[in-house]
Structure 1
Amino acid sequence: MRIYIVEDDPKIRDILKDFLSKYDYQIETVKDFDQITQEFSVFNPNLVLLDINLPRFDGFYWCRKIRAISNCPIIFISARDGGMDQVMAIENGADDYITKPFQLEVVVAKIKSLMRRVYGEYSTDKSSTLIDVDGLSLDTSSFILSFQTKECLLTKKEFLLAQTFLTQTEKILSREFLLERLWDDQDFVDDNTLSVNITRLRKKLADLGIDQAIKTIRGAGYKLEKTWGPNQ
């Protein structure tokens, strides 16, 4: 597994590189802070560790740039511990957030958990990568959600939400259940984080021509109702 570290503090960068290398990860660190997406594309990592405070453009900017070309998992590592910073990280496509100072063992645990989720538990047999509910299809190998002639690319969190809803259509799913599916550490999740991702998924469904399918059940959670299909 390959990890790309984007950190401008050389001491922290070297500590992370040396420690993670002991776990047989192949590590590449940023060389040119103006060429992060190019370096990312060449190295083609399985995961990115990304700082927020970087020269010229911040980590949020580079997270968006990476998200535009890849669903590779991204973990922010930053000294900024405000709740709004964590929400912004999620809104820009991050999968997790670790505050400095951090314990190296916690970083490794987060990486292993995310790697398992992305490349292990949620990796499916190539012969059955499609989840289809009355024409609304989710390709679990490419994160593409499609309906009729339209399709859109989902982020990792949007994909996990869509996968959960499509495999449990018409069932009320509690916020706690959805948070457990998306994050191991619920303490990391700001109260608005799930709502942000639900809103993003609703918008992408609307872009496909499916409106008001994800219902908010007050005091209970959310439900995906089949507002599309032959009987609608």
Structure 2
Amino acid sequence: MYRIMIVEDDDKIAEILKNYAQRYGYEAFCVQQFTHIKEQFLERQPDLLLLDINLPSYDGFYWCRQIRTVSNVPIIFISARTGEMDQVMAIENGGDDYITKPFYLEVVLAKIKSALRRAYGEYAVPAENRDTLETAGLILDRTRNTLSWNDSQVELTHKECMLYDALARTAGAIVSRENLLEALWDDTQFVDDNTLTVNVTRLRKKLEQLNIYDAVETVRGQGYRLHISWSGGGSK
């Protein structure tokens, strides 16, 4: 039984989400103390978070970053904020999806199922390979969102980590833009295609910080491919 942690300061909304999740077989609980969310997360070890942005003391963006220091569990923002920048910030701070209020409970349930399936089900990385992935000496640590090469290391955002992972698992093969979008976002209908381009550019810059150049190739009209040319020395 998957455990869902609900971080929502509107008691009525929190209770509705809790009851609906329980109706469909999930174990759900609502946070009551909003100044110690990370501690409650570590104590209860949920499999997924539903996280509001407007919270007492610190906002949801802050708590998302805090959770990301200790876990990669799926985090779905649920907020009355409808601005594009709020959704961008949610993703940039480590969120996996974004739902605007008012919402349909059926949509929330569908996104929960999709996120859990991606994290733990048929689309998940096998348990024995879940923590790290090594490609020609370049090591991705999924638990810390870092890339290490020789004695250097860079930190990745959650999406950069997912992007590199999707490319590295099939290194040398072309991964279509459509497949990458689906790997990074559960609902691609509302994702601007340019958002993927931005994340690819950022990943390239992180690789350059490790003295690795031209590793992510754009294959025009098809997608992207990860070369492992850095194995010879990691320089351009």
The residue aligned with 1:225 is 227
Q: Which moved more, 1:191-200 or 1:74-83?
A: 191-200
Deviation at 1:4, TM superposition (A): 0.7
Q: Which runs of 5+ in 2 are unaligned?
A: none
Match of 1:42 in 2: 43
Whether contact under 8 Å (1:6, 1:50) holds in the other structure is yes
1:79 shift after superposition: 1.1
Secondary structure at 1:162 match in 2: helix
* TM-score of the pair, normalised by structure 1: 0.85
In 1: Cα distance, 2:194 partner to 2:175 partner: 17
Q: 2:207 aligns with which of 205, 226, 231?
A: 205
CA distance 1:103–1:35, change in 2 (3 Å): same
Aligned residue number for residue 107 of structure 1? 108
The AA in structure 2 aligned to 1:50 is L
1:71 shift after superposition: 0.9
Residues 160 and 182, structure 1, Cα contact 8 Å, conserved in 2: yes
State the secondary structure of the residue aligned to 1:45. coil
Change (3 A) 1:34 1:129: closer
1:3 maps to what in 2? Answer: 4
Give deviations 1:156-183, integer Å, cap 9, x for gaps.
5334322221133344434323112222
Matched residue, 1:133? 135
Whether the aligned pair in 2 keeps the contact of 1:28 and 1:43 (CA below 8 Å) is no
| TM-score normalised per structure 2 | 0.84
Determine the C-alpha separation between the residues in 2 that align with 1:42 and 1:113: 25
Q: Deviation string for 1:100-152 (max 9, x for gaps)?
A: 11111111110111101111121315279764432224467886644334556
What is the distance in 2 between the residues matched to 1:205 and 1:53?
35
Name the structure 1 match of 2:190.
Answer: 188
Instruction: Assess if the C-alpha contact under 8 Å between 1:46 and 1:73 holds in 2.
Output: yes
Instruction: Give, in whole Å, the separation in 2 of the partners of 1:75 and 1:207.
Output: 30
Call closer, same or farther: CA 1:3–1:211 in 2, change over 3 Å: same
In the alignment, which residue of structure 2 is the partner of 1:97? Answer: 98
Decide which of 169, 172, 178 is 2:180's aligned counterpart.
178
CA distance in 2, matches of 1:70, 1:34: 19
Amino acid of the residue matched to residue 19 of structure 2?
D
Q: Which moved more, 1:61-70 or 1:117-126?
A: 117-126
The 3 A distance-change label for structure 1 pair 128 and 183 is: closer
* Distance in 2 between residues matched to 1:46 and 1:129, nearest whole Å: 16
Name 1:158's counterpart in structure 2: 160
**Rounded Cα–Cα distance in structure 2 between residues aligned with 1:138 and 1:215:** 19
Specify the SS of the correspondent of 1:102: coil
TM-superposed CA distance for 1:60, in Å, is 0.9
Aligned to 1:87: 88
Deviation at 1:81, TM superposition (A): 1.4
Kindly indicate whether the alpha-carbon contact (under 8 Å) linking 1:49 and 1:74 is maintained by their aligned counterparts in 2.
Answer: yes
Could you tell which deviates more after superposition, 63-72 or 4-13? 63-72
C-alpha separation in 2, matches of 1:122 and 1:199: 25
Change (3 A) 1:129 1:6: closer
Q: Unaligned regions of 5+ residues in structure 1, if any?
A: none
Compute the displacement of 1:48 (Å).
0.5
How many residues were matched structurally? 232
Calculate the aligned-residue CA RMSD, in Å: 2.7
What is the CA–CA distance in structure 2 between the aligned matches of 1:207 and 1:69, rounded to whole Å? 24
Query: Any idea what the Cα deviations from partners look like across 1:176-218, whole Å, max 9, x if unmatched?
Result: 2311222232123234432443344334434544234223456
